[in-house]
């Protein structure tokens, strides 16, 4: 029996340690110790620095008034992830090329529990703007904003709810959330899907509609299809399915469900599938691509991030992070930046491999529509939240 | 055969299908709806069926296995890892890599089961705790390795998840379309119907294997010497021991067989359904397959039927949203997806109360054997 208790104890301890490492929780994970090493390495030197100032600008100069420094803290992952992190970093690089920023640096977060530490590294170095990438960094960003009141924080995809509540105590003076008109992005790809569909049936597989951006993607998709129908004189049936039957912990991480739902839609004749909802959506996109239908991605150009689906990737409903970050950095420099929510721009990704399949008139319609959404002559009529 | 139970299960499935057909018929021909739902049902039921078979083998031999979820998750990860490594690092072709991935998954399942068997048979640990350990271990192990191998500093793939060699392709085993093409002749409707029916039979390899394995398992458990010994060990190990059956060996073997089923279920997620791994992607399906096993009264065919009930309720959920705009107001409550989503759980509770016949676990289920 003694042996048994020993084995049990060993296993339980082992599994607890592994669990702690596997999920963002306390305890020191091996990866976390690597993180400071990244911070110390002046990553900016790797980047093709456009403005080679006569005297080399280093991180030490950031404390001075004259040197304008921008730091980017990524979500878990790398700055070359071809998605959010990369787009935000390119936004920072763009501001450097535009002569706005004198020094740009990034810290790649290796573990979710290092968010605060990584933001603090830039904060202590006296950076002028800190860009935090991704919804997950929202809390850490607002917390850091209180610690460093003189620094402007830009939270990519971080909705600042305090702007809308009554309690002034929650207000944060130096955080700007960069949000995106998801309905417009959905609208664009909805129109494209409807114009490209031969069966005049298209589908969207989304995460839960309780999350407003997801719902806006889905509703925008419907509205876009209807708009294209109006132009082309077609009638397109749009299936939008939200994964609302499970909790928040599962709704975005269920690729199997996404694939099954997409397959179900394709059984009923859908020949273009829009996957909007993290990994659940990715499952749908992959299933559509495998069936040889049109697959449409979300958030970033998923042609680059989902190699399995790339050959059938028609486009992606994009949040244009790069110009949004660059604009906000410029606003931070000239002092016109406002705390609260800033709405960036939406767009659609290039057709890549399917370029030759998209007829010239569809492409023309898309370009027109994109311009019309930008200048406001076409509106999606999607309310901000589900009524 | 427990006809009352099967009748009940069939009734539930028919009701679920009828509701969808009733609502959807204004948009789609009923045949198309039924075949599409059937195809979804079979695909969704695949991991549940395999998980339930895993449970049947373990518990028939007297070892409770609530670690199926963990076994599935670990196998899904290592199967996927095996496929990726074979493809990118060792330079095998697509198909070799995919098949190696499945083999890896099954081996991983067997190894996890070996751990469970060692805990519960040799060390006589409380089997619920042993299973829980496996579940917790799986979450930690896969989450940790997934991060270290693909996102960690100095990872082989430089922080990017590499493209996978792909997934198992749909098999066209029963050539319905080809057989009926001459009969249909020029009839457009006939051809379309055949194509719709064909959809049910065009399944991916693991989905087809799962169905085959249900019947093979049934045969093994109830018509072979091995099966008789397995059941003897699970019902009355002392008696089995007396007639010279090695209880320890039988239990080990069956738990490992069960683990291999769970491994195949894991392969379904990352090698057959979608070519990627996400932490926690099994999303509790291992526990649902346990419910299916109980629902099916510890028999392979019963468990399969139960898995089909769960599958069809998910197929219904998906279709309810597809037909959202034609749902009559009286049935609008079905749109609240959690109501339909609850069906399997409510049914399981009904079953457990014994309304449609008693559910009897193997007598020595969960009891370590002491000589």
In sequence order, what are the residues at sequence separation of 6 or more whose Cβ sits closer than 8 angstroms to the Cβ of residue A387? none
Lowest-pLDDT choice from A2-6, A95-99, B73-77: A2-6
Is residue B26 domain-resident?
A: yes
Residue contact B337–A244, C-beta within 8 A = yes
Residue contact B144–A22, C-beta within 8 A = yes
Determine the structural domain holding residue B29 and report its residue range: 3-149+186-353
Residue contact A264–B321, C-beta within 8 A = no
Q: Tally DSSP H helices, then E strands, for chain A.
A: 12, 12
Do residues B206 and B263 touch, judged by C-beta distance below 8 A?
A: no
| Residue A269 exposure: Cα atoms within 13 Å on the Cβ side | 16
What pLDDT does B202 receive?
A: 86
DSSP track, A196-242: H-SSSEEEEEES-TTSHHHHHHHHHHHHHHHHHHHHHT---EEEEEE
> What average pLDDT does range B190-219 have in this prediction?
91
Is the pLDDT assigned to residue A24 strictly greater than 90? no
Is the pLDDT assigned to residue B341 strictly greater than 80? no
Q: What is the mean pLDDT of chain A?
A: 84
Is the pLDDT assigned to residue A35 strictly greater than 70? no
Which residue did the predictor score with more confidence, A22 or A168? A168
Strand partners, B82: none
Task: Work out the minimum CA distance from B233 to partner chain A, whole angstroms.
Answer: 23
Residue contact B40–A263, C-beta within 8 A = yes
Helices (H), B61-93: 68-84
Confidence of residue B344 (pLDDT cuts 50, 70, 90): confident
Alpha-carbon separation of residue A235 from A28, A160, A197, A351, B289 (angstroms): 57, 39, 11, 24, 42
Q: Cα torsion for A300, A302, A305, A307, to the nearest 10°?
A: -170
In three-state secondary structure terms, B129 is helix
Give CA–CA dist B118/A227, Å, rounded: 63
Q: Which residue has the tokens 């093994």?
A: B220
In sequence order, what are the residues at sequence separation of 6 or more whose Cβ sits closer than 8 angstroms to the Cβ of residue A25? A19, A113
Which of B40, B142, B269 minimises the CB distance to A264? B40
Is A48 exposed, middle or buried, given 0-12, 13-18 or 19+ CB atoms closer than 10 A? exposed
pLDDT tens digit sequence for B91-103? 888 889 999 999 9
Instruction: Read off the CATH number of the domain in which B275 is found.
Output: 1.10.3470
Is residue B85 domain-resident?
A: yes
Which residue did the predictor score with more confidence, B334 or A84? A84
Q: Where are the beta strands (DSSP E) in A282-360?
A: 294-299, 313-320, 340-343, 345-348
In sequence order, what are the residues at sequence separation of 6 or more whose Cβ sits closer than 8 angstroms to the Cβ of residue B143? A18, A19, A21, A22, A23, B279, B280
- Please report, rounded to a whole number, the percentage of residues in chain B having pLDDT higher than 90: 50
Which of A11, A256, A258 minimises the CB distance to B269? A256
Residue contact A267–B36, C-beta within 8 A = yes
Collect all residues of chain B within an 8 Å Cβ-Cβ radius of residue A249.
280
pLDDT tens digit sequence for A242-252? 988 777 777 88
Task: Work out the minimum CA distance from A24 to partner chain B, whole angstroms.
Answer: 10
Do residues A86 and A110 touch, judged by C-beta distance below 8 A?
A: no
Give CA–CA dist B298/B57, Å, rounded: 9
In three-state secondary structure terms, B147 is helix
Name the phi and psi angles at A133, rounded to 5.
Answer: -105, 115
Give CA–CA dist A303/A83, Å, rounded: 10
Give CA–CA dist B109/B138, Å, rounded: 11
Instruction: Give residues 18 to 47 of A whose Cβ lies within 8 Å of B.
Output: 18-23, 29-31, 34, 37-38
Is the pLDDT assigned to residue B154 strictly greater than 70? no
In sequence order, what are the residues at sequence separation of 6 or more whose Cβ sits closer than 8 angstroms to the Cβ of residue A1? none
Task: Work out the minimum CA distance from A92 to partner chain B, whole angstroms.
Answer: 21
Is the pLDDT assigned to residue A266 strictly greater than 90? yes
Task: Work out the minimum CA distance from A75 to partner chain B, whole angstroms.
Answer: 11
Is A40 exposed, middle or buried, given 0-12, 13-18 or 19+ CB atoms closer than 10 A? exposed
Which residue did the predictor score with more confidence, A181 or B329? A181
For A244, which residue in chain B has the nearest alpha carbon? B337
pLDDT tens digit sequence for A212-239? 888 999 999 999 999 999 999 999 999 9
Tokens representing A21 are 């490492």
Is residue B154 domain-resident?
A: no
Which residue did the predictor score with more confidence, B150 or B109? B109
Is residue B234 domain-resident?
A: yes
Do residues B121 and B142 touch, judged by C-beta distance below 8 A?
A: no
**Element holding B368 (H helix, E strand):** none
What is the CB neighbour count within 10 angstroms for residue B337?
A: 20
Is the pLDDT assigned to residue B361 strictly greater than 90? no
Give the mutation candidate from A260, A262, A281, A297 for the B interface (greatest B CB count, under 10 A).
Answer: A260
Collect all residues of chain A within an 8 Å Cβ-Cβ radius of residue B43.
260, 263
Residue contact A16–B274, C-beta within 8 A = no
Alpha-carbon separation of residue A248 from A307, B140, B195 (angstroms): 27, 20, 38
What pLDDT does A7 receive?
A: 63
Lowest-pLDDT choice from A47-56, A85-94, A319-328: A47-56
Lowest-pLDDT choice from A326-340, A344-358, A364-378, B177-191: B177-191
Name the phi and psi angles at A309, rounded to 5.
Answer: -100, -10
Confidence of residue B353 (pLDDT cuts 50, 70, 90): confident
Is A10 exposed, middle or buried, given 0-12, 13-18 or 19+ CB atoms closer than 10 A? exposed
What is the CB neighbour count within 10 angstroms for residue A6?
A: 11
Is A100 exposed, middle or buried, given 0-12, 13-18 or 19+ CB atoms closer than 10 A? buried
Give CA–CA dist A329/B122, Å, rounded: 64
What is the CB neighbour count within 10 angstroms for residue A7?
A: 16
Tokens representing A340 are 């609260």
Is the pLDDT assigned to residue B331 strictly greater than 80? no
Collect all residues of chain A within an 8 Å Cβ-Cβ radius of residue B204.
none
Collect all residues of chain B within an 8 Å Cβ-Cβ radius of residue A246.
283, 341
> What average pLDDT does range A73-101 have in this prediction?
86
Give CA–CA dist B236/B175, Å, rounded: 47
Is residue B75 domain-resident?
A: yes
Confidence of residue A265 (pLDDT cuts 50, 70, 90): very high
Residue contact A245–B119, C-beta within 8 A = no
Strand partners, B222: none
Q: What does R_g of chain A's alpha carbons equal in angstroms?
A: 23
Residue contact A245–B317, C-beta within 8 A = yes
Lowest-pLDDT choice from A117-131, A227-241, B123-137, B171-185: B171-185
DSSP track, B266-291: HHIIIIII-S---TTTTTTHHHHHHH
Do residues B105 and B268 touch, judged by C-beta distance below 8 A?
A: no
Give CA–CA dist B317/B334, Å, rounded: 9
Collect all residues of chain B within an 8 Å Cβ-Cβ radius of residue A239.
321-322
Q: What is the largest CA-CA distance in chain B?
A: 72
Do residues B79 and B97 touch, judged by C-beta distance below 8 A?
A: no
Task: Work out the minimum CA distance from B213 to partner chain A, whole angstroms.
Answer: 22
Q: Model-level pTM?
A: 0.82
A268 touches chain B (CB under 8 A): yes
Task: Work out the minimum CA distance from A252 to partner chain B, whole angstroms.
Answer: 10
Reported ipTM: the value is 0.86
Which of A19, A80, A290 minimises the CB distance to B167? A290
Give CA–CA dist B326/B304, Å, rounded: 32
Is the pLDDT assigned to residue A48 strictly greater than 60? no
A136 touches chain B (CB under 8 A): no
Residues, chain B, total?
371
Give CA–CA dist A183/A380, Å, rounded: 7
Closest CA to A345 of A322, A378, A363, A312: A322
In sequence order, what are the residues at sequence separation of 6 or more whose Cβ sits closer than 8 angstroms to the Cβ of residue A308? A286, A289, A290, B163, B164, B166, B167, B275, B276
Give the mutation candidate from B322, B326, B342 for the A interface (greatest A CB count, under 10 A).
Answer: B322
Tokens representing B130 are 């042993």
Question: Which domains are assigned to chain A?
Answer: 35-179+319-346 (3.40.50.2300), 182-299+351-375 (3.40.50.2300)
Collect all residues of chain A within an 8 Å Cβ-Cβ radius of residue B144.
18, 21-22, 29
Is residue B156 domain-resident?
A: no
Is residue B180 domain-resident?
A: no
Is residue B177 domain-resident?
A: no
Is the pLDDT assigned to residue A187 strictly greater than 70? yes
Q: What does R_g of chain B's alpha carbons equal in angstroms?
A: 22
Give the mutation candidate from B206, B321, B327 for the A interface (greatest A CB count, under 10 A).
Answer: B321
Is the pLDDT assigned to residue A165 strictly greater than 60? yes
A283 touches chain B (CB under 8 A): yes
pLDDT tens digit sequence for B219-259? 999 999 999 999 999 999 999 999 999 999 999 999 999 99
Provide the pairing of β-strand A313-320 with A272-276: unpaired
Q: What is the mean pLDDT of chain B?
A: 88
For A1, which residue in chain B has the nearest alpha carbon? B123
> What average pLDDT does range A135-156 have in this prediction?
91
**CA angle at residue A198 from A197 to A201, to 5 degrees?**
60
Do residues A204 and A238 touch, judged by C-beta distance below 8 A?
A: yes
What pLDDT does A13 receive?
A: 65
A267 touches chain B (CB under 8 A): yes
What pLDDT does A22 receive?
A: 46
Is the pLDDT assigned to residue A8 strictly greater than 70? no
Give CA–CA dist B68/B55, Å, rounded: 7
Q: Which range among A49-63, A159-173, B69-83, B88-102 has the greatest average pLDDT?
A: B69-83
What pLDDT does B158 receive?
A: 63
Collect all residues of chain A within an 8 Å Cβ-Cβ radius of residue B152.
31, 34, 110
Confidence of residue B304 (pLDDT cuts 50, 70, 90): very high
**Overall domain count for chain B:** 1
């Amino acid at each position: 029996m003694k042996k048994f208790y020993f084995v049990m104890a060993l296993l339980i301890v082992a599994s607890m340690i592994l669990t702690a490492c596997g999920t963002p929780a306390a305890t020191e994970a091996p990866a976390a110790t690597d993180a400071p090493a990244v911070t110390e390495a002046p990553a900016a030197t790797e980047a093709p620095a456009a403005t080679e100032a006569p005297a080399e600008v280093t991180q030490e100069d950031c404390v001075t008034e004259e040197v304008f420094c921008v730091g980017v803290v990524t979500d878990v992952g790398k700055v070359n992830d071809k998605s959010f992190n990369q787009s935000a970093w390119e936004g920072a690089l763009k501001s450097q090329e535009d002569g706005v920023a004198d020094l740009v640096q990034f810290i790649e977060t290796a573990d979710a529990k290092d968010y605060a530490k990584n933001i603090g590294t830039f904060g202590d170095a006296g950076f002028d703007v800190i860009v935090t990438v991704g919804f997950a960094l929202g809390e850490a960003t607002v917390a850091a904003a209180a610690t460093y009141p003189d620094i402007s924080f830009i939270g990519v995809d971080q909705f600042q709810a305090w702007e809308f509540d009554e309690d002034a105590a929650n207000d944060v003076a130096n955080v700007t959330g960069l949000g995106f008109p998801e309905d417009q992005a959905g609208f664009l790809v909805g129109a494209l899907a409807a114009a490209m569909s031969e069966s005049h049936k298209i589908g969207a597989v989304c995460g839960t509609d309780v999350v407003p951006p997801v719902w806006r993607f889905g509703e925008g998709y419907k509205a876009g299809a209807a708009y294209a129908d109006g132009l082309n004189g077609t009638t397109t049936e749009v299936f939008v399915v939200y994964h609302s039957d499970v909790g928040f912990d599962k709704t975005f991480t269920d690729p199997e469900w996404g694939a099954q739902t997409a397959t179900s839609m394709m059984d009923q004749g859908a020949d273009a599938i829009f996957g909007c909802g993290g990994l659940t959506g990715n499952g749908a996109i992959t299933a559509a691509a495998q069936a040889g239908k049109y697959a449409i991605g979300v958030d970033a150009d998923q042609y680059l991030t989902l190699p399995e689906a790339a050959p059938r990737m028609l486009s992606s409903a994009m949040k244009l992070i790069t110009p949004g970050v660059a604009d906000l950095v410029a606003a931070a420099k000239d002092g016109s930046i406002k705390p609260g929510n800033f709405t960036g721009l939406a767009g659609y990704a290039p057709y890549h491999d399917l370029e030759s399949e998209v007829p010239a008139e569809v492409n023309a319609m898309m370009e027109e529509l994109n311009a019309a959404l930008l200048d406001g002559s076409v509106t999606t009529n999607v309310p901000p939240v589900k009524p | 055969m427990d006809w009352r139970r099967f009748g009940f299960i069939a009734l539930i499935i028919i009701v679920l299908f009828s509701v969808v057909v009733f609502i959807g018929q204004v948009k789609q021909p009923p045949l198309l709806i039924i075949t599409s739902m059937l195809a979804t049902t079979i695909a969704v039921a695949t991991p549940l069926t395999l998980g339930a078979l895993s449970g049947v083998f373990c518990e028939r031999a007297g070892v409770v296995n609530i670690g199926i979820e963990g076994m599935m998750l670990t196998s899904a990860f290592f199967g996927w890892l095996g496929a990726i490594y074979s493809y990118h690092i060792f330079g095998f072709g697509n198909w070799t890599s995919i098949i190696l991935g499945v083999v890896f998954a099954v081996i991983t399942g067997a190894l996890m089961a070996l751990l469970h068997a060692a805990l519960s048979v040799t060390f006589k640990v409380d089997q619920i705790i042993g299973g829980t350990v496996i579940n917790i271990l799986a979450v930690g192990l896969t989450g940790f390795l997934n991060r270290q191998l693909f996102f960690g500093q100095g990872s082989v793939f430089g922080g990017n998840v590499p493209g996978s060699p792909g997934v198992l392709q749909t098999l066209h085993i029963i050539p319905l379309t080809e057989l009926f093409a001459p009969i249909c002749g020029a009839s457009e409707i006939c051809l379309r119907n055949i194509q719709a029916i064909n959809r049910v039979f065009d399944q991916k390899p693991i989905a087809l294997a799962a169905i085959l394995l249900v019947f093979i398992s049934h045969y093994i458990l109830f018509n072979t010497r091995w099966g008789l010994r397995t059941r003897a060990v699970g019902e009355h190990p002392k008696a089995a021991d007396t007639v010279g059956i090695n209880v320890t060996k039988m239990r080990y073997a069956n738990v490992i067989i069960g683990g291999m089923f769970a491994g195949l279920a894991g392969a379904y997620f990352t090698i057959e359904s979608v070519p990627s791994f996400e932490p926690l992607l099994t999303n509790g399906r291992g526990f649902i397959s346990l419910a299916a096993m109980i629902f099916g009264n510890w028999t392979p065919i019963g468990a399969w039927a139960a898995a089909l009930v769960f599958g069809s309720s998910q197929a219904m959920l998906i279709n309810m949203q597809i037909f959202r705009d034609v749902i009559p107001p009286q049935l609008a409550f079905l749109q609240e997806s959690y109501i339909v989503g609850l069906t399997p759980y409510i049914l399981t509770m009904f079953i457990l109360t014994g309304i449609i016949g008693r559910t009897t676990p193997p007598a020595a289920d969960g009891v370590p054997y002491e000589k």
